[in-house]
Structure 1
Amino acid sequence: MKVMESETYLNVSVPQLKDELRRRGATTRGRKADLIERLRAYDRNKDFQNEPVIIPEPLEVDWPTRGFQQLQVVHREEIPEICIEQIDMYFVHRLAGDKQSTGDVKAIEKGRLLLESDRVLATSYLMQGNALFFTGIVGAAMKTRVTYNFKLKLDKNSGDIVNSHCECPAGRGPHGTCKHLAAVALLLLTFAEGKGLYIKRSCTENLQTFHKPKHSYSGSPVKAENLSRKRKLNDDFFDDPRPMHLRNLASYPDRVRNMVINYCSGTSENLTYRYLIERADIQTAVNDHDYLERPFTEYWVQQAVEVTTEKVIAIEEKTRGQASSKDWFKERSWRITASRFGDICLATDRRNKQKLCHSIYQPSAALFRCEALVHGRTYEARAIRCFEKETGMNVQRCGFFVDKDRPYLGASPDGLVGRETLIEVKCPFAGRNEKIHPGKHFPFLTVDSLTGEYKLKPSSKYYFQIQGQMYIAKKKTCYFIVYTFRDLFIQKLEFDLEYCENSLLPKLEMFYDKFFKPYLSTIL
């Protein structure tokens, strides 16, 4: 039935009006005047339905369809250098459309298993402009007859993953992060490092495996409390040998508490029962010792960070993994690190010192996930390799250095060159695609008025950091390295002892004694 015009409702019979109301999903009760008024109300409100919301299709990548050729060893020179940090950044740290990290850690783990299981069946390659396109087939993990076609786009200069797509539900483009795409990314990583292609071979190329078990058992023994019992335990099993007049005394818990505390403090042994006892309120106890020059908790903090020469060497050796080492985080927690020297020395009287101390002791978790920090961690290793190639020097890993005379100061250089030199690497995220020059993206650089060359600003936070690192690590020189995808800047800085003793160290010592040490004493 055609849609009626509101002017024609008076000339339409009642059955026709009811049919029109049924078509619109409305009730058909009432007289003819009621039916007409109801239809006119539906006309005014467009049948009480909102306009349809059209969801835009995701951004489509202009994937090429011709010109691909099978990936072979001869193509290794055309593929840029790829590192595992770039894959982690795309699958784990890359900010999605909702401004949240994708966090597909399991995709990388499962992709590695797919690669080791020869589930990458075919890979083709095409270079087009400044982009590298890869396409091929990856087999499903659990089904032998199911395969998925994938597409991958890399930046020719940096090796970053730009776009990806897979036919599986989790790999829909333009930024798919499924395990099949992770397997291909890991394949390209191993291929760029000079290793062979992990592409599935025919059955006659593999060794026979009929005598190998399909599954391996790696479970742990069942705990005693999880074993099944026919008879349940209850309080009747345990008989109290004490007389009735000695049971449930009000002072008995205090007696046990004192015995446990005295035993643990006298023998330095740890009893599990000790953790059932409520901790003492240390901050209240501080007020009971007002005769001391400083709160006794500050003496505890000072004693906790003190080190000997042997301990300084041991700390540096066991923290060479830096961010991947638990000891590195432990040794940094109660110390002021060189990366914060600039914030402290440039802080004005209006700066909230309590918040500054809190940010030094416990940095925000969001800080470690920001794009700039993730970018810096990702490309630091590549910047060091470029420095080694440019200068012919060999960079060695180093750990966390602690100053013996001022044990509350620490530094983690990015590497050592010989015995007298360290390096500090910066990979600015804002200027990652720019040539290095003083300006908006590189505000820490300036032009030398005498030579006309670029150099690090003495007022920059990086200058405070580098001079502090050389003082703490007892080094004479430092190579300041700035890396972008298009350029590499290297400056050799000399250690300025007069600057450290007369400017840097007094400010740090005052901040520690006046603000940071009292802050640490309040969180014990």
Structure 2
Amino acid sequence: MRGSCTSEQCKWLMPSHVKKIPAAPVAVIDFSSAKSKKLRLDCSIEGSTTENKVGKMHPCPRVERGSETYLSFFENLSKNCPRSAALMAREPYHKEFIPTSSMLPKTIFEYRTPETLQLPPKELGELCQDFQLEELTFSQVQAVERATRSQSASRIWFRQRAGRITASKLKQVLKTNPQQPSKSLIKAICYPEAYRFTTAATSYGSKHEAQARGAYEKMMIQEHAGFSCMDSGLWLNPKWPYMGSSPDGIVTCDCHGTGICEIKCPYSQQDEDNLRLCAGKKNFCLINDGDDVILDRNHNYYYQVQAQLHIVNAEYCDFIVWNRNDIFVERIMPDLEFWDYVIPNVECFFKNGILPEILGQQVTQSETK
């Protein structure tokens, strides 16, 4: 039995006499109502005009494709109505309509297969030494960053980070034995969602990050023309596809170009009146350097900042330390000599520690035996 019309989805009914509607420019399509068309026909038979009866038409001026007016229209449309269907077939706006999932690169775990899981240790080790990740494209890098701007609230952020050496883990990676890497570090990198941890210090930092960012923006707007600080997602780099970085913000201004920022809200210094006077205290990230106060170059945070700078390919990083009474900002530049030391060691750790777990579950299987 055929369902009632109210039980079906709404749809347009095509007139029975219409078999095909050819595509045509809007300028040549007649949108007149049936009544107006009949009136024109009657007038043509009578030999009179329809101008007095149906009103004088005022056609819009024709805009040439590719003209300044044409391009300006679509640019303004993209700013004010970015999801307009008119943009779907126009370059470069059509890229915003491509589903994000179809543009994302393979996750590191997608390289695992039933065959790699069955390899004996020697063959698994040989495979890992010769293994190459697929090349990342610029479009894939952009897609991951756009899709992960909510960071820890994004499932894609966790999936794309899993198995990649992130900036916050860099110093730990460089300090572990590359031939017998730390199992706990391997698990934290391969399974970041499962090995999340929360302490009073991390909770305090997360709670006050937005407030710290606001104080930083207020200060920088007064000193830099055209300053802005935007949310950032997970950044990958085609040169080092086994690494990832999620800075706290992407920074731009007319005077210094594009950089990043990293915000720290230290729990142990939350009530200090002057953060610079805390420099040199045990476990604090700031130290005295002559008359200056700087980020300790041996601290985890310096390793993190350098990884962010190189992975994002940023010109500078504003390292921010904030509490309710004070704010400290140091602009840090890429350290090329440091990075030349980093890359071969990180690659060694990835092949000796991460890939055996990704492809063959070397660590987790050994713990279940």
Match for 2:229: what amino acid? V
Does the 8 A contact of 1:395 with 1:415 survive in 2?
yes
Runs (4 or more) in structure 1 with deviation over 4 Å come to 280-284, 296-299, 348-352, 363-367
Q: What residue is the counterpart of 1:506 in the other structure?
A: 344
Residue 148 of structure 2 is aligned with which of 319, 325, 335?
319
* Equivalent AA in structure 1 for residue 165 of structure 2: I
What TM-score results when the alignment is normalised by the length of structure 2? Answer: 0.59
Alpha-carbon distance between aligned partners in 1 of 2:177 and 2:129, rounded to the nearest angstrom: 28
Residue 438 of structure 1: aligned partner = 279
- What CA deviation, in whole Å up to 9, does each residue of 1:241-292 have, x standing for no partner? xxxxxxxxxxxxxxxxxxxxxxxxxxxxxxxxxxxxxxx96466323995x8
Q: Distance in 1 between matches of 2:186 and 2:193?
A: 12
After superposition, where does 1:329-478 map in structure 2 within 5 Å? 329-347=158-176, 353-363=182-192, 367-392=196-221, 393-418=227-252, 419-434=257-272, 435-436=274-275, 437-440=278-281, 443-449=284-290, 452-478=291-317
Equivalent pair of 1:376/1:427 in contact (CA under 8 Å): yes
Instruction: Give the secondary-structure state (helix, strand or coil) at the position aligned to 1:511.
Output: helix
Give the letter for the 1:431 counterpart.
Q
Residue segments in structure 1 that go unaligned for 5+ positions in a row: 1-279
Q: 1:286 to 1:314 in 2, by over 3 A?
A: same
Residues 418-458 of structure 1: per-residue CA shift (max 9 Å, x gap): 15210000111111112312143652211112xx1110111
Question: Structure 2: how far apart are the matches of 1:386 and 1:500?
Answer: 31
CA distance in 2, matches of 1:387, 1:321: 20
TM-aligned CA distance change 1:495 to 1:509, over 3 Å:
same
> Across the two proteins, how many residue pairs are aligned to each other?
238
CA contact (8 A) 2:205 2:266 kept: yes
Structure 2 counterpart SS, 1:369 = coil
Measure, in 2, the Cα distance between the counterparts of 1:515 and 1:288: 13
Contact between 1:298 and 1:521, CA under 8 Å: does it hold in 2?
A: no
Offset at residue 383 of structure 1 (A):
0.5
**Counterpart AA for 2:238:** K
Deviation at 1:498, TM superposition (A): 2.5
* More divergent stretch after superposition (482-491 vs 428-437): 428-437
**1:294 aligned residue (126, 137, 142):** 126
Identity of aligned residues (%): 29
- 3-state SS in 1 of match to 2:330: strand
| Alignment check: 8 A CA contact 2:251 2:259 kept | yes
Tell me how far apart the structure 2 counterparts of residues 478 and 470 of structure 1 sit (CA, whole Å).
Answer: 7
Rate the CA distance shift 1:443–1:349 in 2: closer, same or farther, 3 A: farther
Q: Could you tell me how far apart the structure 1 residues matched to 2:234 and 2:159 are?
A: 11
1:347 to partner: Cα distance = 3.0
Q: Structure 1 residues 289 and 509, CA, compared in 2 at 3 Å: closer, same or farther? A: closer
Deviation at 1:516, TM superposition (A): 1.4
Residue number among 281, 285, 303 corresponding to 2:118 in the alignment:
285
Shift, 1:346, TM fit:
2.8
* C-alpha contact 1:431 1:441 (8 A) present in aligned 2: no
Shift of 1:295: 3.5
Provide the C-alpha distance between the structure 1 equivalents of 2:178 and 2:136, rounded to a whole number of angstroms: 32
Contact 1:401-1:410 at 8 Å conserved across structures? yes
Determine helix, strand or coil for the equivalent of 2:361.
coil
Matches within 5 A, 1:243-258: none
Query: Unmatched 5+ residue regions in structure 2?
Result: 1-112, 222-226, 363-369
Structural mapping, 1:14-413, within 5 Å: 282=115, 285-287=118-120, 290=123, 294-295=126-127, 299=131, 302-303=132-133, 306-347=135-176, 353-363=182-192, 367-392=196-221, 393-413=227-247
Query: Contact (CA 8 Å) 1:316, 1:401: kept in 2 or not?
Result: yes
Q: Structure 1 pair 363/284, CA: closer, same or farther in 2 (3 Å)?
A: closer
Q: Give the equivalent residue in structure 2 for 1:495.
A: 334
Shift of 1:378: 0.8
